[in-house]
Structure 1
């Protein structure tokens, strides 16, 4: 299978090796929901970057990631290690109650924290890629008119450039709900010379929150950016929300990552929920076995809202096969 865009000049050996590796890699689960509901930490504006200011929270984060890296070690596969920077961009400073400079400091510290985890595990799990995570500029789920590409590029450029300067292996746009914002994000990443992945979120009908079909979102983003993304992902939706829109067409082979929600609830319903809906972890694994058949180019799998080590464990058992005989 030909892998699109695997060797531009700014791609590192780590990224080229990652894309060429036949193994499916693991990543973690629902980090923010785990820290909020399971660990009991406060996340202003759902921004987990503030946990880096608390030694107790940092210890909980270490334990959290250790669980998933243990699974990768058992499965004898690589790991994509996220920075907790989904809402550490300076545009979130007021909502989080920090200054723009403090948000930048938290972004730097998030990369240092992730690098320390990699250093601790790299003799047991290889490779571990540092993934600089960035969320949308606003609410990804309300379907309101989106940013145009130029505005999105301007908003996301500072955080992408900072993550690139801190030495992440790639940046990933998670829970993006519009094509134009994705296009702007890709263009900013290309200018920063950092590899980029785009992860769209979808509603219960498999369409983006603004109604755009997933196939069109992938095709239009590729067309506007000369196929610049390493690949696309789907996250923050239950597998049953999008599995029926997956086809054997070329656009679907561009989807190489899945991070699904535990719950079948819509985004609007989840916003109103007062407790965590963790669904059925064992069923979660079974559903991913089906997804892996629909997505033969699948490269990285993990969980999103409501998932923890149980969900990812069942999923790993269902789709990852250790190389050891």
Structure 2
């Protein structure tokens, strides 16, 4: 039975952390080759499983040391049918690897959770296409049918929720939400933003949130922002009703554009201290934002600085 599915603890006021840029960490810091950025493929080897466990323990440990909650986000961003096919997975094997990814996190929660640090297990869904470029935008109906495979597995494997990360367009976000509703799963929607604070489609974050809510009866439990530096989106945030729906941040370490990141041979890990200060300022302006993690280029150092800065900001406030 899922532990928190009916009462997600991050919907309260408590600070929750999540992990950082798992793919960039594994590639640039751990030396793994991840075709198509498919971290789930590491579950096939002992070395890969150990690397994933080490990664999640390191990040969850930051939450435990600081009395924060933690969201264990499965390494399944690329573990959907189209991407699995590119990697040679049969549907049966892909289903099993998704189950393994969730079971690993349930085991880690059993090992690391404390009364002060509740740990939510989230099944991570990624976009059907590229996380930066929505070249082929599905209808909501197509997206629901596509993502139902993975979300159904997460439900059966006793994940607490679904988080759709790097959503580039409203249609896919609506489809993911409806698939989660059909499976009885709470779902958080995280939108990729560009340097102008808009979705890759050019739509504003405000309009995207309002359209998904209108199409689903406000079904997402909350929204998040990911894959952009705070300097890219801070000016589009406002003290308005739609902004109350945004509870999470997973920012990039780098101020580079997505095109620059795609073509760069190196990893731009930015400034962890500066990023922590950026998060604290945003939390000061929008104190209901309480789910904090990282995206491209971030690692445990950034999460430590984000946590420290936000804990200090809350203490001063």
The normalised TM-score by structure 2 is: 0.95
CA distance in 2, matches of 1:268, 1:244: 21
Q: Which moved more, 1:50-59 or 1:198-207?
A: 50-59
CA contact (8 A) 2:213 2:220 kept: yes
Aligned length: 314
Q: Please list, as runs of the form range in 1=range in 2, the aligned pairs for 1:56-95 lying within 5 A after superposition.
A: 56-95=47-86
Q: Which moved more, 1:287-296 or 1:146-155?
A: 287-296
CA distance in 1, matches of 2:198, 2:164: 17
Who is 1:255 aligned against? 246
- Is 1:137 paired with 2:128? yes
Give the superposition deviation at 1:12: 7.1
Q: Please list, as runs of the form range in 1=range in 2, the aligned pairs for 1:196-275 lying within 5 A after superposition.
A: 196-275=187-266
Q: Alpha-carbon deviations, 1:24-78, whole Å to 9, x = none?
A: 1011111111111110111111111111112112222222112212211121111
CA distance in 1, matches of 2:314, 2:258: 38
CA distance in 2, matches of 1:321, 1:170: 29
Change (3 A) 1:118 1:249: same
Change (3 A) 1:64 1:322: farther
CA distance in 2, matches of 1:282, 1:176: 27
Return the match for 1:100 from 75, 78, 91: 91
- Is 1:153 paired with 2:144? yes
Give the superposition deviation at 1:19: 4.2
The secondary structure found in structure 1 opposite 2:7 is: helix
The secondary structure found in structure 2 opposite 1:276 is: coil
CA contact (8 A) 1:202 1:208 kept: yes
Structure 2 residue runs without a partner (length 5+): none
The secondary structure found in structure 2 opposite 1:301 is: strand
Return the match for 1:187 from 157, 160, 178: 178
Give the superposition deviation at 1:322: 11
Give the superposition deviation at 1:321: 5.5
The secondary structure found in structure 2 opposite 1:140 is: coil
CA contact (8 A) 1:79 1:125 kept: no
Who is 1:28 aligned against? 19
Give the superposition deviation at 1:100: 2.1
The secondary structure found in structure 1 opposite 2:188 is: strand
CA distance in 1, matches of 2:80, 2:201: 23
Return the match for 1:162 from 153, 156, 179: 153
Return the match for 2:37 from 46, 70, 90: 46
Q: Alpha-carbon deviations, 1:200-250, whole Å to 9, x = none?
A: 001000000010000000000000000000000001111111111000011
CA contact (8 A) 2:5 2:185 kept: no
Structure 1 residue runs without a partner (length 5+): 1-10
Q: Please tell me the root mean square deviation across aligned C-alpha atoms, in Å.
A: 1.9
CA distance in 2, matches of 1:136, 1:124: 34
CA contact (8 A) 1:90 1:104 kept: no
CA contact (8 A) 1:172 1:199 kept: yes
